[in-house]
A and B are shown apart, each in its own frame.
Chain A
């Protein structure tokens, strides 16, 4: 009996010693990372750009798996079911964690997840077609005031931050504008070019080509800072609105993943972002803004925007949960 007790004690002691040792050696095998979008988009290319540097930092390969669908919910619900052993994490865009859970019932609770950190945020521009009668945001809003509902704007989907950003603006100005959801940013830009909608609020990348080709006029930057593509276009804040459209890419672990592992991946992201060629590619080819947020700050921002976007969702009648 004594012997047995000794063995158990030894085992327990070993287990206790082994657990931190595991975390210290982490990672000892390749780590799987889900990408919530299909291959070849801005997010995908960005993740694949930083992945080699993260691998260098971690000393083990990252296995990148594209799991597109349902606004990212497919990837996150798979992740939520994964073992919290530090070997599976997922990239996630802000809406997957903030707006989509308020719009429909999901199998995961985003607040349970472990927030690793965020490497970048997206920039958004409100465009009209070149040669349109509206030369500024003010003129567009003045027209909308006189003609309720006549200003149509393209978005990449109902309830996307692109939709909610303009909805906030319309609400704030007490005018009626009509959101028209398209399947993704490129189609919403195409609808402006074809003259089917008056304006569109799109992520930068989707508009680079048409803007440089002289087919679009930017009216305002919807996100917080001015961007290199359209240096003279003012942000909403500069135009006197106390609001900016915010969405970022981040990484999350399933519930219960140890802090040491979270910190390690956070460090890997930070390391990758400090590389000059990552910064160059993000700025010159992908048109996204590198903006590192640690896990705590990332979580705080998500919580803050839960309220902000949630409020707008309620106003446009999309908040269900």
Chain B
């Protein structure tokens, strides 16, 4: 343990130069802007910056990317709160409660809860990365295809909490899940490379891109919905509804903190664990944490109507993924997420291959990175994010909606195009935007669709890999105690949630109003 502190000190001495701190701040600003603009992902920004790091100093480059990464992880919640348009997919779960809270005039409160929860989750996960990376990596390695498949199945049951209460709403939710799973199968099947549902269109071989789908369903369809209303409300009305900003006192902050503490802790650990597993990602973590918070809450909770825990849980969860997804990278040299792959590239550009050897040969670099991560969260929150949200609030007061929504569409289109530089993607984007609009009109909720779309391919891949390993024997799922345990939990969670839903007509588990439109 003392060893770690020694390395941390060395790392701090090595990494904390004025230049690197500047790099963090610049990076965080880029990240927060990219993250806050619907359609532009922080990872997209990282990928676009990456080639320019070729000529930069190693730690400056890495600090810069780290800042972008962390800034983006937080900033998605800003637009999710203010417009119900998550800036990044991982903020989709946050919107479920932060937007209703905002509509009640408590925008300061919801923005701040998201920020402090992000800081909390990020810091817990940073500390876990520093102190428990090797054992956590070992756990992550042990989880093979059958265990991951069971874990994903369990995560999918978090969907149930997002469904409505009436029989009709539950059916609609299941249709939404099925559609998400079906859309995820489009393209080359990632195991045997056979074509599925591409109708001879080669551009579809790659499948329907992940980011595009999420932006189309969450942002574009919301713009369509809002566009409908622009005709009916005048500027004065729109501003009038939100101009009464309710202040956020210190007593309230303390009360919210006490209320959310349990969820913050749970989400930080759940997010860190999910982050350490390759390929699961922040969006899933956010939904699972949200689902868990909602499942464990008492019946009188205001989830879906602006419960602070509904903001704190997903934000702590998705920010916890940021650092812990670097665990496989630094301990094994295996990038577990897209962002980690970009970091891997950044190291490689600098002539270093991350992994156990770098940890042994140049601990000052790895620990320097850890110190930078810890510093980034605090520096970002206090120096960049706090002023940023107050500026955003000011701009927001005088916002002209008839200009803002077209602006969102432009940003989305640019973001989608920048992802792969492929015009064909824009067509799918528009189509999916309309699909999302129709779904909302019909009262079908979007988050189950998205969760199914993200988790479906991971579930399929791991199930098929497990069956390949066992020679097609399904027994592999019950032979592993971890897989068996998770499967039992998944079935239990499903049965319990449905039973709780059907019991009594009025329960706390309702679809948030804004998804009913």
Residue ranges of A at the interface with B (Cβ–Cβ < 8 Å): 38-42, 44-45, 48, 64-70, 73-74, 77, 103-104, 106-107, 149, 152, 157-159, 178, 180-183, 186-187, 189-191, 193-197, 205-206, 208-210, 212-213, 215, 281, 284-286, 318
Q: Which residues of A contact B345 (CB under 8 A)?
A: 39-41, 44-45
Q: Which residues of A contact B351 (CB under 8 A)?
A: 281, 284-285
Residue of A nearest to B356 (CB): A213
* Distance, CA A99 to CA B468, complexed state (A): 23
Interface residue from A64, A69, A107 paired with B420 (Cβ < 8 Å)? A69
* Distance, CA A284 to CA B471, complexed state (A): 41
* Distance, CA A66 to CA B51, complexed state (A): 10
**In the assembled complex, how far is the CB of residue A158 from the closest CB belonging to chain B, in whole angstroms?**
5
Q: Is B27 an interface residue (CB 8 A)?
A: no
Interface residue from B202, B334, B353 paired with A205 (Cβ < 8 Å)? B353
Q: Which residues of A contact B358 (CB under 8 A)?
A: 209
Q: Which of B2-10, B159-167, B189-197, B385-393 lies at the interface?
A: B189-197
Contact A213 to B360, CB < 8 A, known contacts A157-B193, A158-B191: yes
Is the Cβ of B192 less than 8 Å from the Cβ of A158?
Answer: yes
Is the Cβ of A103 less than 8 Å from the Cβ of B193?
Answer: yes
Interface residue from B344, B357, B469 paired with A180 (Cβ < 8 Å)? B469
**In the assembled complex, how far is the CB of residue A136 from the closest CB belonging to chain B, in whole angstroms?**
24
* Distance, CA A30 to CA B143, complexed state (A): 49
Residue of B nearest to A100 (CB): B193
Is the Cβ of A210 less than 8 Å from the Cβ of B356?
Answer: yes
Is the Cβ of A213 less than 8 Å from the Cβ of B141?
Answer: no
Is the Cβ of A190 less than 8 Å from the Cβ of B355?
Answer: no
Q: Which residues of A contact B341 (CB under 8 A)?
A: 38, 40
Interface residue from B342, B354, B422, B465 paired with A209 (Cβ < 8 Å)? B354
Q: Which residues of B contact A210 (CB under 8 A)?
A: 332-333, 355-356
Is the Cβ of B144 less than 8 Å from the Cβ of A104?
Answer: no
* 6 A-B pairs with the lowest CB-CB distances in the bound complex, closest first: A40-B345, A209-B355, A209-B333, A213-B356, A194-B141, A196-B144
* Distance, CA A205 to CA B461, complexed state (A): 25
Residue of B nearest to A215 (CB): B356
Residue of B nearest to A180 (CB): B468
Is the Cβ of A73 less than 8 Å from the Cβ of B335?
Answer: no
**In the assembled complex, how far is the CB of residue A144 from the closest CB belonging to chain B, in whole angstroms?**
14
Q: Which residues of B contact A191 (CB under 8 A)?
A: 144
Q: Which residues of B contact A183 (CB under 8 A)?
A: 190, 279, 461
Is the Cβ of B142 less than 8 Å from the Cβ of A209?
Answer: no
Q: Is B346 an interface residue (CB 8 A)?
A: yes
**In the assembled complex, how far is the CB of residue A166 from the closest CB belonging to chain B, in whole angstroms?**
15
User: 25 pairs across A/B with beta carbons < 8 Å?
Assistant: A40-B47, A40-B50, A45-B345, A45-B348, A70-B205, A74-B205, A74-B420, A107-B202, A158-B192, A178-B468, A181-B191, A182-B465, A183-B190, A187-B278, A189-B334, A193-B141, A195-B142, A195-B144, A209-B332, A209-B333, A209-B356, A209-B357, A213-B357, A213-B360, A215-B356
Name B125-147 residues within 8 Å CB distance of A.
141-145
Q: Is B421 an interface residue (CB 8 A)?
A: yes
* Distance, CA A285 to CA B358, complexed state (A): 12
Q: Which residues of B contact A41 (CB under 8 A)?
A: 345, 348
* Distance, CA A206 to CA B422, complexed state (A): 29
Q: Is B398 an interface residue (CB 8 A)?
A: no
Is the Cβ of A196 less than 8 Å from the Cβ of B333?
Answer: no
Q: Is B261 an interface residue (CB 8 A)?
A: no
Q: Is B188 an interface residue (CB 8 A)?
A: yes
* Distance, CA A189 to CA B190, complexed state (A): 18
Contact A42 to B349, CB < 8 A, known contacts A104-B195, A190-B141: no
Contact A149 to B471, CB < 8 A, known contacts A67-B421, A209-B353, A210-B333: yes
Q: Is B382 an interface residue (CB 8 A)?
A: no
Is the Cβ of A64 less than 8 Å from the Cβ of B51?
Answer: yes
**Binding site of B, secondary structure by majority: helix, strand, loop or mixed?**
helix
Is the Cβ of A196 less than 8 Å from the Cβ of B461?
Answer: no
Q: Which residues of B contact A38 (CB under 8 A)?
A: 47, 341
* Distance, CA A195 to CA B141, complexed state (A): 8
Residue of A nearest to B352 (CB): A285
* Distance, CA A242 to CA B234, complexed state (A): 79
Contact A48 to B51, CB < 8 A, known contacts A65-B421, A209-B355, A209-B358: yes
Q: Which residues of B contact A70 (CB under 8 A)?
A: 188, 202, 205-206
* Distance, CA A284 to CA B350, complexed state (A): 12
Q: Is B328 an interface residue (CB 8 A)?
A: yes
Interface residue from A48, A157, A181, A208 paired with B353 (Cβ < 8 Å)? A208
**In the assembled complex, how far is the CB of residue B479 from the closest CB belonging to chain A, in whole angstroms?**
13
Q: Is B404 an interface residue (CB 8 A)?
A: no
Q: Is B496 an interface residue (CB 8 A)?
A: no
* Distance, CA A185 to CA B189, complexed state (A): 18
Residue of B nearest to A192 (CB): B141
**Besides A183-B279, A186-B335, A194-B143, 6 other A-B contacts (C-beta < 8 A):** A40-B348, A152-B468, A195-B142, A210-B332, A213-B355, A285-B348
**In the assembled complex, how far is the CB of residue B144 from the closest CB belonging to chain A, in whole angstroms?**
4
Q: Which residues of A contact B51 (CB under 8 A)?
A: 39, 48, 64
Is the Cβ of B334 less than 8 Å from the Cβ of A190?
Answer: yes
Contact A104 to B335, CB < 8 A, known contacts A67-B421, A187-B278: no
Is the Cβ of B334 less than 8 Å from the Cβ of A187?
Answer: yes
Is the Cβ of A190 less than 8 Å from the Cβ of B192?
Answer: no
Interface residue from A40, A69, A180, A181 paired with B342 (Cβ < 8 Å)? A40
* Distance, CA A194 to CA B461, complexed state (A): 17
Q: Is B54 an interface residue (CB 8 A)?
A: yes
Interface residue from A45, A149, A187 paired with B349 (Cβ < 8 Å)? A45
Interface residue from B54, B193, B422 paired with A158 (Cβ < 8 Å)? B193
User: Could you say which of B195, B205, B461 has the most chain A C-beta atoms within 10 Å of its C-beta?
Assistant: B205
Interface residue from B328, B348, B421 paired with A190 (Cβ < 8 Å)? B328
Q: Which residues of B contact A208 (CB under 8 A)?
A: 333, 353, 355, 357
Interface residue from A68, A182, A193 paired with B332 (Cβ < 8 Å)? A193
User: Could you say which of A103, A209, A318 has the most chain B C-beta atoms within 10 Å of its C-beta?
Assistant: A209
**In the assembled complex, how far is the CB of residue A131 from the closest CB belonging to chain B, in whole angstroms?**
14
Is the Cβ of B420 less than 8 Å from the Cβ of A67?
Answer: yes
* Distance, CA A74 to CA B207, complexed state (A): 12
* Distance, CA A68 to CA B205, complexed state (A): 12
Residue of A nearest to B141 (CB): A194
Name B450-465 residues within 8 Å CB distance of A.
461, 465
**In the assembled complex, how far is the CB of residue B47 from the closest CB belonging to chain A, in whole angstroms?**
5
**In the assembled complex, how far is the CB of residue A147 from the closest CB belonging to chain B, in whole angstroms?**
11
Residue of B nearest to A191 (CB): B144
Residue of A nearest to B142 (CB): A194
* Distance, CA A64 to CA B421, complexed state (A): 12
* Distance, CA A196 to CA B142, complexed state (A): 8
Q: Which residues of A contact B349 (CB under 8 A)?
A: 40, 45, 48
What does the 1/0 interface line of B319-352 toward A look like (CB < 8 Å)? 0000000001000111100000110111011011
Q: Which residues of B contact A44 (CB under 8 A)?
A: 345
**In the assembled complex, how far is the CB of residue B462 from the closest CB belonging to chain A, in whole angstroms?**
10
Q: Which residues of A contact B420 (CB under 8 A)?
A: 67-69, 74
